[in-house]
Every structure is written in C-alpha cells, then in structure tokens.
Structure 1
C-alpha cells in the first residue's frame, strides 16, 4: 500500500526577528551618541572672524552672556569669585587654556575686564572663541 505524498514546504528563513534586533541596536547607538556630545555651555552669539581656528587643547570655557554675566558651565560667578573658581577647575598650571566665549553684544570693556582678571593667574593662556566667518549669515 502506497501512502499519498505530502507536498514539502520550501525551507525559509524568517528575517523579522533579525530586523528587530538590528533596529534595537541602531536605536541604542543613536541614543547613546546623543549623550556623548560636548556641551559648551549657554548659547551665545559669537562674533565672526575670518582667521578663526579650532582649539584642540581646550580646557576651560568662561562664558559672558548677553547681559555681561560671567558663567563657567551653567553656573554664574561674581567678578570676585571668578579667579578662585578658575584656579580650582584648572589643575595643570603649565599650558592651561581658558577660552572666553563672549556674546557679540557684550561691551568690549567687560570682556577686557574678565581677561585682565584671568591674566593674573600664572600659567594660564587665554583664547577668545569666535565662529568662522563663513558660518555667519550674510548681511541684508
């Protein structure tokens, strides 16, 4: 007696679980990379300069917002607290770089006052943050 042949179903690979795993790994890397970006502090409108260059050895950023208030990170400091705060944040006195990010609307005299205070610290090099001239919006 002969049994009827059952049609064999072709072998197939279900790729839906593999796609789920790939998207989960991709989402993990995207979300984790958002936490790796460096926060430069508060948003200020930097003046432009045609000779602007990046500073790879950036150590400490002192921000002057549009009202002229001095901030390190997101914490405000008075003029008499600034030197003590910078001294505690900079451990390497040899070649320490302090970058001043001053809003374009801050009066020049205010920036010079902060620079003058920071120059009294031994071993501190000063730099002023600008944005490349190409990044500026064209004047109307």
Structure 2
C-alpha cells in the first residue's frame, strides 16, 4: 500500500495573536496611567508644611490666586457663584472633599471667607493644599 506523501507546507508565523496581546497590554497601561495623573490646577505658590498628607477621596479644587481671582477646577467664578459652581459638579453629594489651593500671597481673611462660604454646603469636608515636605515660611 502506497500512501501519498504530504506536501510540506512552508512554516508561517502568525502575528495576529501577538498584535492582540500587544494592544491589550497597551490599553491596560493607557487606562491605568489616566488614573495616576494628579490635577495640579492653576499655578499658585502654595505655602509649605512638613506634615502635609495626600488625600485620596473624590475632591473639588478651589483655587485662590495672588490676583484675587477664584477658580473651581480651571474655571473662573465670581464669589457669588462659588457654591453654585461646586454644586453643578455633583461630586459632593455624599461628603466629598473641597481642597482650597490658596496662593501664599492671599490674605488669611480671604481664605477664611471662602471657607465660611463653602461650609454652608451639606456634608462638605474642607482641606487646604500645601507643598508637602517643605518647612513653612517664617512669618
């Protein structure tokens, strides 16, 4: 009995599965890097504090720059519109955190006035941003 010989097919490297794996790994790193970015916001000279801690919960950033302007996120708002601008973000529904990033040239009274206004929001927690690891400037 004579069996026909199988013609040898040339060897091939199928790269489609390798491309799928590379794209899956790439998508993982892109998505994970989106969660690692910090929102520094607008440039202000923050005061230093040796005991500063990083906050990990949902937060809204209110910035007070040296020129006296107030920002919620990156959007400029008037003092009368501050609470409304924060409420439209909707992140403070169940006890979110409002971080106040005040330039060190902003007067203490201005920061206290903004904090007083923000405390009227129900369940709000306030924090003041500082440069971590730096000694506070001498008065």
TM-score (norm 1): 0.68
Q: Structure 2 vs 1, CA of residues 63 and 138 (structure 1 numbering), >3 Å: closer, same or farther?
A: closer
The DSSP-based 3-state class of the residue aligned with 2:55 is coil
Cα distance change of structure 1 residues 39 and 105 upon mapping to structure 2, 3 Å threshold: same
Partners in 2 of 1:131 and 1:55 — Cα distance?
A: 13
Q: Gaps (5+ residues) in structure 1?
A: 1-24
RMSD: 3.0
Q: State the Cα distance separating 1:38 from its structure 2 match.
A: 3.2
Give the equivalent residue in structure 1 for 2:72.
72
Give the count of matched residue pairs. Answer: 112
What CA distance in whole angstroms lies between the structure 2 residues aligned with 1:41 and 1:54?
Answer: 15
Distance in structure 1 (CA, Å) of the matches to 2:101 and 2:92 = 21
Check conservation: 1:44, 1:66, Cα contact below 8 A. Answer: yes
Give the C-alpha shift of residue 135 in structure 1.
4.0
In the aligned structure 2, how far is the partner of 1:41 from the partner of 1:96?
A: 18
Q: How many angstroms does 1:39 deviate by?
A: 3.0
| TM superposition shift of 1:130 | 0.7
